[in-house]
Amino acid sequence: MTEPRLITAESVTEGHPDKVCDQISDAILDDMIAKDPSSRVAVETSATKGQFFVFGEVTSKEYTEIPDVVRSVLRRIGYTSSQIGLDADSCGVLVAIGQQSPEIRQGVDRLSSESAADREAFYASQGAGDQGVVFGYASDETDVLMPLPITIAHRMAARLARVRKEGIVPHLRPDGKTQVTVEYGDDDRPRAINTVVVSTQHDPEVTQEWLREQILTHVITPVLDDLCGERVKHDDFRLFVNPTGSFILGGPAADAGLTGRKIIVDTYGGAAHHGGGAFSGKDPSKVDRSGAYAARWVAKTIVAAGLARRAEVQIAYAIGVADPVAIMVDTFGTESGATREEIEDAVRLVFDLRPAAIIDELNLIRPIYSKTSVYGHFGRDEPEFTWERPTRAQALKKAVSARRS
């Protein structure tokens, strides 16, 4: 008997120090785009006990009061008292923002949309904001076409924040992490939940036994029942809640935070490749972000069209060059009704993956990024997440049929 294949993914709550920094960076980006849609933004945030440092490069016609944005994010998360390690109204905020490099700008802003003679000229004129390799992935193992482990981990992390904010489970504090291990069968489909780990910050007066029961009842069981149903066995798994024994001190008071340090949490939980570039704090001229969103859009469309059960899309860019230098589609032998090569050729015909075209098609010049910065950029039914809509599934199927005829 062969050993079961185990895939593990983790997520973190909005109070985790790295995710706090992601949310601040994206809230700053949203404020700048809302005031000036032509803003070029590359903002990082770092955090430690009682202190935040916001730095990076920005070119914008408008002004953002960055300390106000930082404090607003912290209040929304729930860091409002020094008793839990962080008070939004008294923490320090340092800002060091410079302008975007003119050598980067010259490859990105050659024409404005107003001055382009037509859309084609505009799409050809705007190069990628940097070189880079991005990946998109989709799998039919969940309704949202995402890997099951990361989907469960995100839902548990979001549920953990919800029961704290709504008072369903009292005595919880903002910081927390989830982790799920799923057992896969010989058919490469999930068949059982193997292990669940939840670590949650809490008030000092609660017992770990009480906390374990509350988390199992109000966080873990509802999420597993919803996502696993009768398809995936989830009544006999190892459970660890606060494995160290307590978790009273959390957030930046316990562990320094930094934008872009949870890139696998942001994408597919390790079930697929990652290009290496972080998303948060970057405007969509940066293909680290817009290209990765487009790659997910393409991969999800392939699976939604029934052309494969799994699909991974790789796109490579050169700074200042509009057209991708390479596009690769991998269907892992799960393709149906077409070869991998035929699907890849159809993708090239149906999708315009130049940065300006992606930005237009997915409507990315909007203040939508704060929502993306926690609980995953993919696999969520949010109206702002245009890359989650496989709007070209029929066009892709037609292109494959034409390729085969």
Task: Assess whether pLDDT exceeds 60 at residue 114.
Answer: no
Q: Which helix (H) or strand (E) holds 91?
A: none
Residue-wise pLDDT tens digits, 262-271: 999 999 999 9
- Give the pLDDT of residue 117: 58
Asked if residue 367 is part of any domain, the answer here is no
Q: Which helix (H) or strand (E) holds 6?
A: strand 5-12
Is pTM beyond 0.85? Reply is yes
More confident residue, 308 or 102: 308
Stretch 45-60: mean pLDDT: 96
pLDDT mean across residues, the chain: 94
Asked if residue 54 is part of any domain, the answer here is no
Asked if residue 235 is part of any domain, the answer here is yes
Residue-wise pLDDT tens digits, 388-402: 999 999 999 999 999
- Name the E strands within 140-253: 172-184, 190-202, 238-241
Asked if residue 159 is part of any domain, the answer here is yes
Task: Assess whether pLDDT exceeds 90 at residue 72.
Answer: yes
Task: Assess whether pLDDT exceeds 70 at residue 90.
Answer: yes
- Give the pLDDT of residue 109: 61
Domain limits for position 218: 5-13+147-252
More confident residue, 404 or 330: 330
Task: Assess whether pLDDT exceeds 90 at residue 100.
Answer: no
Stretch 41-55: mean pLDDT: 97
- Give the catalytic positions in this structure: 16, 18-19, 44, 57, 177, 247, 255-256, 261-262, 282, 286, 288
- Give the pLDDT of residue 130: 81
- Give the pLDDT of residue 118: 77
Task: Assess whether pLDDT exceeds 60 at residue 167.
Answer: yes
- Give the pLDDT of residue 128: 85
Question: How far is Cα 293 from Cα 365, in angstroms, rounded to an integer?
Answer: 13
Stretch 63-70: mean pLDDT: 96
Asked if residue 121 is part of any domain, the answer here is no
Q: Measured between alpha carbons, how far is residue 324 from residues 306, 314, 328 in Å?
A: 26, 10, 11
Task: Assess whether pLDDT exceeds 70 at residue 191.
Answer: yes
* Buried/exposed code over 301-329 (b: 16+ C-beta within 10 A; e: otherwise): bbbbbebbbbbbbbbbbbebebebeebeb
Stretch 13-41: mean pLDDT: 97
Task: Assess whether pLDDT exceeds 50 at residue 279.
Answer: yes
What is the pLDDT confidence band of residue 95, given thresholds at 50, 70 and 90?
A: very high
Question: How far is Cα 375 from Cα 275, in angstroms, rounded to an integer?
Answer: 19
What's CA 165's distance to the chain center, in Å? 22
Task: Assess whether pLDDT exceeds 50 at residue 272.
Answer: yes
Q: Helical H runs in 179-251?
A: 208-215, 221-228
- Based on the number of CB atoms within 10 Å of its own CB, is 166 exposed (0-12), middle (13-18) or buried (19 or more)? exposed
- Give the pLDDT of residue 107: 55
More confident residue, 200 or 106: 200
- Give the pLDDT of residue 143: 96
What is the pLDDT confidence band of residue 258, given thresholds at 50, 70 and 90?
A: very high
Stretch 345-367: mean pLDDT: 96
Stretch 9-23: mean pLDDT: 98
Task: Assess whether pLDDT exceeds 60 at residue 116.
Answer: no
What is the pLDDT confidence band of residue 111, given thresholds at 50, 70 and 90?
A: very low
- Give the pLDDT of residue 346: 96
- Give the pLDDT of residue 404: 78
Task: Assess whether pLDDT exceeds 80 at residue 369.
Answer: yes
Task: Assess whether pLDDT exceeds 70 at residue 194.
Answer: yes
- Name the E strands within 60-131: 80-81, 86-87, 92-98
Asked if residue 230 is part of any domain, the answer here is yes
More confident residue, 250 or 113: 250
- Give the pLDDT of residue 51: 98
Block residue for tokens 């404005």 = 112
CATH of the domain at 237: 3.30.300.10
Task: Assess whether pLDDT exceeds 60 at residue 83.
Answer: yes
Asked if residue 248 is part of any domain, the answer here is yes
Asked if residue 305 is part of any domain, the answer here is no
- What total number of domains does the chain contain? 1
